[in-house]
């Protein structure tokens, strides 16, 4: 495979996510972003495609090729798939993997065994060395927070499978937590509601479209509707249905409340001095779910702190990894684990 960047021996940053994997070399302008997925035969013996290509062939021929994902709720569930994906992204990002240092984000609370497996996969994939950093730290760096300063910096990254919460100060992590819950749980709640109330089975992409078009964390001011198609569970035929913004709002209440509770729990466990900083400087909301309408305002009003959402919040982690790679000496305290290839150059 030829690399998309001419990055001879440069640092490769990889954010392996539940839904998407993003790899960057030399910052945001040279980033590759593809679904976290491989395609296998029905016996799951042979992996035939990775990323975008896997998604394409699975969508076209679902009876022949099956999707497998490396992570569930942010944590590795399939090492073979993880290994294949990391190798694919490393080679796509760098044309000289053997000279590359790879910087990876990992959820908080990963066991030593899980960390080692992740790093082994990178080294076996050909890299010279690998460094791990916790996801909220990468998100904070990527969103431009002054993590080396003597003040409390709070970040909440809500992706597809996890909520990663971190508070950093003076180049160290004061609190970090990963909850195995995220934007995909909002989709699950919608999917169940539509099955029960409309007796319709719908595709994952349809749920995603409904969430993005009508989803809101704040009580809606209008009752816009959205027409969608699905398979009628009573007769197996295609059926058109209409859902309203107010219904979607009600369905999303429970999973959103769970996220709010977790953020409040972290604040409760934080020292008053750091809480005072967070109230003064605010917190940053990153990850794809930060794009849900009104989520920033809802968190701000329930917790009483200003909330900032950076541009392209889903890219903050990979941007933070790149920034960290450029300033490794200054930010060495954030390394949670590292591994070097034996006999490296």
Ligand X SMILES: Nc1ncnc2c1ncn2[C@@H]1O[C@H](COP(=O)(O)OP(=O)(O)OP(=O)(O)O)[C@@H](O)[C@H]1O
Report the alpha-carbon distance of residue 342 to residue 345 in Å, rounded. 9
Q: In which element (H, E) is residue 54 found?
A: helix 51-60
Pick from 289, 310, 318, 334 the residue near ligand X by CB under 6 A: 289
Cβ closest to ligand X, residue 210 vs residue 274: 210
Phi, psi of 12 (to 5 degrees): -115, 125
Q: Is 210 annotated as a binding residue?
A: yes
Q: Is 212 in the site for ligand X (CB under 6 A)?
A: yes
Pick from 3, 7, 13, 18 the residue near ligand X by CB under 6 A: 18
Q: Is 125 in the site for ligand X (CB under 6 A)?
A: no
Pick from 51, 70, 182, 220 the residue near ligand X by CB under 6 A: 182
- Give me the least distance between CB of 87 and ligand X, in Å please: 19
CB-based contacts of 291, cutoff 8 Å, min separation 6: 212, 309, 313, 314
Q: Is 84 annotated as a binding residue?
A: no
Q: Is 220 in the site for ligand X (CB under 6 A)?
A: no
Q: Which residues does residue 50 pair with via DSSP β-bridges, in sequence order?
A: 38
Report the alpha-carbon distance of residue 102 to residue 315 in Å, rounded. 17
**Footprint on residues 312-331 left by ligand X (CB under 6 A):** 314
- Give me the least distance between CB of 98 and ligand X, in Å please: 27
Per DSSP, the residues of 180-246 read S--HHHHHHHHHHHHHHHH-EE--HHHHHHHHHHH-BSS--SS--EEEEEEEETTTSSEEEEEEEHH
Pick from 51, 136, 142, 161 the residue near ligand X by CB under 6 A: 161
Q: Is 67 in the site for ligand X (CB under 6 A)?
A: no
Pick from 287, 296, 310, 320 the residue near ligand X by CB under 6 A: 287
| # of chain residues touching ligand X (CB under 6 A) | 23
Angle between helices 183-198 and 245-268 in degrees, nearest 10: 150
Pick from 47, 90, 284, 292 the residue near ligand X by CB under 6 A: 292
Residues within the interface to ligand X (CB under 6 A): 17-20, 71, 74, 159-162, 182-184, 208, 211-212, 215, 287-289, 291-292, 314
């Amino acid at each position: 495979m030829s690399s998309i960047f001419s990055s001879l021996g440069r640092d490769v940053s990889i954010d392996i996510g539940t839904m998407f994997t993003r790899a960057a070399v030399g910052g945001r302008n040279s980033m590759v972003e593809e679904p976290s997925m491989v395609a296998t035969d029905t016996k799951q013996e042979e992996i035939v495609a990775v990323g975008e290509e896997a998604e394409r062939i699975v969508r076209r021929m679902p009876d022949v090729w099956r999707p497998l994902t490396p992570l569930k709720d942010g944590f590795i569930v399939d090492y073979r798939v993880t290994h294949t994906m990391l190798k694919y992204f490393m080679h796509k990002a760098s044309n000289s993997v053997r000279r590359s240092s790879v910087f990876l984000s990992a959820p908080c609370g990963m066991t030593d065994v899980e960390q080692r497996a992740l790093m082994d996969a990178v080294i076996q994939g050909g890299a010279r060395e690998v460094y791990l950093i916790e996801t909220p730290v990468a998100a904070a760096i990527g969103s431009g927070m002054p993590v080396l300063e003597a003040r409390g910096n709070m970040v909440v990254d809500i992706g597809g499978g996890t909520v990663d919460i971190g508070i950093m100060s003076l180049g160290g992590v004061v609190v970090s937590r990963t909850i195995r819950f995220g934007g995909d749980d909002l989709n699950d709640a919608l999917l169940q509601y539509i099955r029960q109330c409309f007796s319709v089975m719908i595709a994952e992409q349809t749920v995603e479209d409904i969430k993005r078009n009508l989803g809101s964390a704040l009580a809606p001011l209008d009752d816009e509707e959205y027409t969608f198609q699905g398979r009628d569970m009573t007769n197996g035929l295609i059926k058109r249905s209409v859902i309203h913004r107010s219904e979607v709002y009600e369905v999303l209440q429970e999973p959103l409340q769970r996220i709010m509770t977790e953020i409040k729990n972290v604040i409760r466990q934080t020292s008053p001095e750091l809480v005072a900083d967070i109230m003064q400087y605010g917190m940053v909301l990153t990850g794809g779910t930060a794009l849900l309408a009104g989520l920033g305002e809802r968190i701000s009003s329930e917790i009483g702190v200003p909330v900032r959402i950076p541009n392209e919040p889903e890219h903050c982690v990979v941007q933070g990894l790149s920034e960290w790679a450029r300033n490794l000496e200054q930010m060495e305290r954030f390394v949670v684990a590292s591994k070097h290839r034996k006999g490296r150059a």
